[in-house]
Copies of this chain bind each other. A is one copy, B any other.
């Protein structure tokens, strides 16, 4: 896309970065290709070069060079984004933060930890094990924590502990021109000025590059019980969830798995589950509290067509259950067969409208002859349809895009949002205007103020401006 002059300017910027980083600035085809892949069906998108900074200072110098040259910079964590956030859509630098993966300080007495953004969540929890503390946000993928912050990720435990939005006390970020800022502190709350922490969380690398995070930690619960139960219908399962949430039961996890997804688990994980809608559950607390919660849940479930209840108190059984759940994307891929990809919807609705949303999605998939699994963080009203798409068949691509679009508009009609946790990236740009209306112009004005040259992850999160929007 770059013209000759721009091309030369970018090449000069890359050459200057190569002088600084040496072998940590890579232009090999293999490395560029690795950074151009994604878990969804977006086309391969190659950056011009991949930079592997090791310090905030290096990130700052890289951004200063790129800002002066107008060279795009796309942050890259683990590459597990589902809306293509890490793809260098406009070329330029893929800023791979995987070498900035250190735990900088564990503060057990304050229940927090200071980390670099390239650290992944599984490694963090391994490092924390001896402290009796853990970081609860669990999106399934072994994502980088910087990427999780940048996409405002959540997952199976958000019903209890909240999303990344709720679990970051402070951060350091490098802004477009190389300025390093800090936002927040190690104190648990603050009322001092505009909340730049929350502005950067979920900004998908378009406002700044997160180079450090201070994360809240939780005590590892004394007792944990996992369980599965199955229902005759998805409505019964969802209505059981709604009553559970309304009862104030402090569920650690409560996940919906529909009958198609169960087929996928049986295929991919040899699960041997009856092909009916299931809830996967986790209860945590003191032993007495877990016993009380379990009894209360059984009582609630008894009001619906619950059938089959199996609990797992042993660590390995619980791990097997959640590992199976976390592999939903790959189980869906197994159902799809070779050559097919999975497009995942991600709407989130008020819980009172959840049964309607889920059953409508199932009906639309069935009517369209689509293969679509449903898994959901249903305690939050968030669910995913994993729809099988044939990326080589334009009709299949168009049909799945249309299906996703319909589900997104349904969610908005029900008072919800088009993305609970995957973000906008490349995949939902066309929905931003409907979801945000006049607020979109204010988002654009922040982008223009923070990144006037538009170098930070261009083409993501904000759709191209239309004539209808104005900010006077």
A contacts, CB < 8 Å to B: 107-112, 151-154, 158, 162-163, 165-166, 175, 177, 179-183, 185-196, 198-199, 201-203, 207, 218-219, 221, 242, 245-248, 286, 288-289, 292, 346, 348-352, 380-382, 411, 415-424, 428, 431-432, 435-443, 445-450, 461-462, 471-472
Contacts and interface: CB of A to CB of B under 8 A. Distances in A.
Contact of A183 (B162, B346, B352, B439): B439
A446 to B, nearest CB: 6
B207 A202 contact: no
B191 A219 contact: no
A175 B195 CA distance: 17
Nearest to A445: B449
A348 B289 contact: no
A461 B351 contact: no
A416 B242 CA distance: 39
14 contacts: A187-B381, A187-B382, A187-B415, A190-B420, A191-B202, A191-B423, A192-B428, A192-B431, A193-B432, A193-B435, A193-B461, A194-B446, A199-B199, A446-B446
A333 B333 CA distance: 68
A454 to B, nearest CB: 15
A192 B435 contact: yes
Contact of A432 (B192, B248, B431): B192
B350 A181 contact: no
Contact of A189 (B163, B218, B436): B163
A37 to B, nearest CB: 22
A445 B439 contact: no
Given A416-B186, A445-B450, A180 B423 contact: no
Contact of A417 (B185, B242, B423): B185
Contact of A193 (B107, B346, B443, B449): B443
B110 A190 contact: no
A350 B438 CA distance: 39
A152 B245 contact: no
Contacts of A202: 191, 193-195
Number of chain copies forming the complex: 2
Given A183-B439, A286-B292, A442-B196, A190 B472 contact: no
A423 B189 CA distance: 11
Given A186-B350, A194-B199, 12 more contacts: A109-B352, A110-B351, A151-B191, A153-B191, A177-B472, A179-B472, A186-B416, A187-B348, A191-B423, A193-B461, A219-B247, A289-B289
B180 A443 contact: no
A193 B292 contact: no
A330 to B, nearest CB: 22
B288 A181 contact: no
A349 B187 contact: yes
Contacts of A112: 350
A182 B437 contact: yes
Contacts of A108: 246
B196 A421 contact: no
B195 A165 contact: yes
Contacts of A247: 219
Contact of A194 (B107, B165, B207, B381): B207
B432 A442 contact: no
Nearest to A188: B380
Contacts of A110: 350-352
Given A181-B438, A198-B198, A191 B424 contact: yes
A56 B448 CA distance: 28
Q: Please provide the 10 A-B residue pairs with the shortest distance between their CB atoms, ordered closest to farther.
A: A198-B198, A190-B417, A219-B248, A445-B449, A181-B439, A109-B352, A187-B348, A187-B416, A186-B415, A152-B191
Contact of A421 (B189, B207, B245, B418): B189
B199 A416 contact: no
Contacts of A446: 194, 446, 449
A196 B439 contact: yes
Contacts of A207: 194
Contacts of A447: 194
